[in-house]
Amino acid sequence: MMTKNPLVIATRQSALALWQANMIQDLINSLPAFNDFETKLLPMVSTGDIKLDTVLAKVGGKGLFTYELEQALKAKQAQIAVHSLKDVPMIPEEQFFYTYNARHYHEDLAVFPAGSPYKSLADLPAGAVVGTASVRRKALLAYFYPHLKTKLLRGNVNTRLAKLNDAEQGYDAIILARAGLDRLGFLADLQVEILSPEQGWVSAPGQGIVAVQWDDNQEVSAYSEFLNDPVNALLTNIERGVARLLGGSCSLPLGVYAHFVNKDGEQVLTSAITEEFNRLRHQLQAQAYQEYHPTTPQVLTQIWQDKIRNSAQIQDFVMGLQLEQIHVHVFVGDLEAQKTIRQTYTFDFAGHSLVNLDSPTLLTQVLQFVQMIASDIESKGFAQITSLLAQQLS
Ligand SMILES: NCc1[nH]cc(CCC(=O)O)c1CC(=O)O
């Protein structure tokens, strides 16, 4: 029997990180293109898991949850790393690139302690205490709920929930990502309020997306396309593109959320597109493998992409979605709600197709759109916000 190539997956050790790494491992194991690989998880501890006493913006933020995993990639102890995209720095080191997966939920939630008489942030009495370590969430609280106080809350999701339910810690509510709670199976048992971006509570760029990090110096990177989800990649590149042009770091209270809108002007949830779209794409991937194995990953990618473009089933599915526009919600705030910017931007998707997301015309238009958003935000007083923030964070 032939020995298989190792495909070691670096991950943090929190319950959420392991869930996400397992999801990617299962996906890889289900794809014939990876038949010659043997997957294994490499759980690691990151600086962000140890330094728990400060606001994320102050410990530098940059690469706090990714640095150690990147070292494992560079040392070839691991072939890929799995991250919450939200934790990945906006400007990666040159040798690394990412593919994107799975956005089931994008929103933040307010979570209330078991038995709390309150069901929404608006209901909480003046001076009630809300836990978060994120400057974006602090700025949103200051803007929408000025009657509330915030208090630092760090740690992984399990730790934060334990602190919420420990009365001595004094939290009346905490803010968490819906995606994380859903993945851990906690949603059903918790008293929560969904904070929706469409109503102004804009989530972090890339929130809810699982990112797979690849190392250009390792041969396995030729297989990256098989794991990419092109719909999530498009929306994510818009969100992160805006953040990057605004100097993107997690010390900026910035929310960006992009989604598709159909002919009737309704939001089409990304998960409602990607589940079926990827099922069909993966079927064709398996067919291409069957017909052309053994061949190189580059050739297989080409054949597979052609099959996708020529598939009547995929064409039908994509046409049925009637995607017309992409809406991008942006929030830029400061810690005392003195200079908040809120805006929604619209991209005309009608002449494009999900089957051709790598079309140079589309990519050029998207890039111009992202630049337009960033310069519009700048013209609305962005520089004043950042100088105000510098004072507030010092
Ligand atoms: N910085 C922590 C972090 N990074 C990703 C998630 C949740 C999953 C996601 O949003 O993708 C969380 C926890 C939280 O914000 O509640």
Q: How far apart (Å, rounded) are the C-alpha atoms in residues 375 and 240?
A: 15
Q: Is 322 left (phi over 0), alpha (psi -120 to 50) or beta?
A: left
350-360 per-position pLDDT tens digit: 999 999 999 99
Mean pLDDT (whole number) for 381-387: 94
261-276 per-position pLDDT tens digit: 999 999 999 999 999 9
Return the ligand 1 atom nearest residue 85 CA: 11
Share of the chain above pLDDT 70, in %: 96
Ligand 1: residues within 6 Å at CB?
84, 86-87, 157, 176-177, 179-180, 207-208
Return the ligand 1 atom nearest residue 209 CA: 11
The pLDDT assigned to 65 comes to 86
The size of the chain, in residues, is: 394
182-212 per-position pLDDT tens digit: 999 999 889 999 999 988 999 999 999 999 9
- Nearest CA owner, ligand 1 atom 9: 208
323 near 349, Cβ under 8 Å?
Answer: yes
Q: Which string of DSSP letters, residue by residue, matches 105-149?
A: ---EEEEE-TT-S--SGGGSPTT-EEEE--HHHHHHHHHH-TT-E
| pLDDT beyond 80 at 1 | no
| Ligand 1 centroid to residue 111 C-alpha, Å | 14
The pLDDT assigned to 52 comes to 64
| Ligand 1 centroid to residue 209 C-alpha, Å | 9
- Say whether 108 is catalytic: no
- Nearest CA owner, ligand 1 atom 7: 180
SS3 254: strand
| Ligand 1 centroid to residue 118 C-alpha, Å | 24
pLDDT tier at 48 (50, 70, 90 boundaries)?
confident
CA distances from 173 to 110, 112, 180 (A): 6, 5, 17
221-262 per-position pLDDT tens digit: 999 999 999 999 999 999 999 999 998 776 899 999 999 999
The pLDDT assigned to 63 comes to 79
Average pLDDT, the chain: 94
From 49-63, 141-155, 368-382, the region with the lowest mean pLDDT: 49-63
| Ligand 1 centroid to residue 269 C-alpha, Å | 19
The structure tokens listed for 204 are: 């972090």
| Ligand 1 centroid to residue 356 C-alpha, Å | 31
SS3 152: strand
- Residue ranges of domains in the chain, CATH in brackets: 5-106+205-388 (3.40.190.10), 108-195 (3.40.190.10)
- Nearest CA owner, ligand 1 atom 5: 84
- Nearest CA owner, ligand 1 atom 11: 208
| pLDDT beyond 90 at 49 | no
Residue of 87, 172, 215, 229 with catalytic role = 87
Ligand 1 pocket check: which of 19, 46, 140, 157 to mutate, most ligand atoms within 8 Å of Cβ?
A: 157
319-337 per-position pLDDT tens digit: 999 999 999 999 999 999 9
Return the ligand 1 atom nearest residue 210 CA: 11
SS3 269: coil
**Are β-strands 96-101 and 210-215 bridged in parallel, bridged antiparallel, or unpaired?**
antiparallel
- What ipTM was estimated for this complex? 0.94
Among positive and negative, which fits the CA dihedral 334, 337, 338, 341? Answer: positive
pLDDT tier at 127 (50, 70, 90 boundaries)?
very high
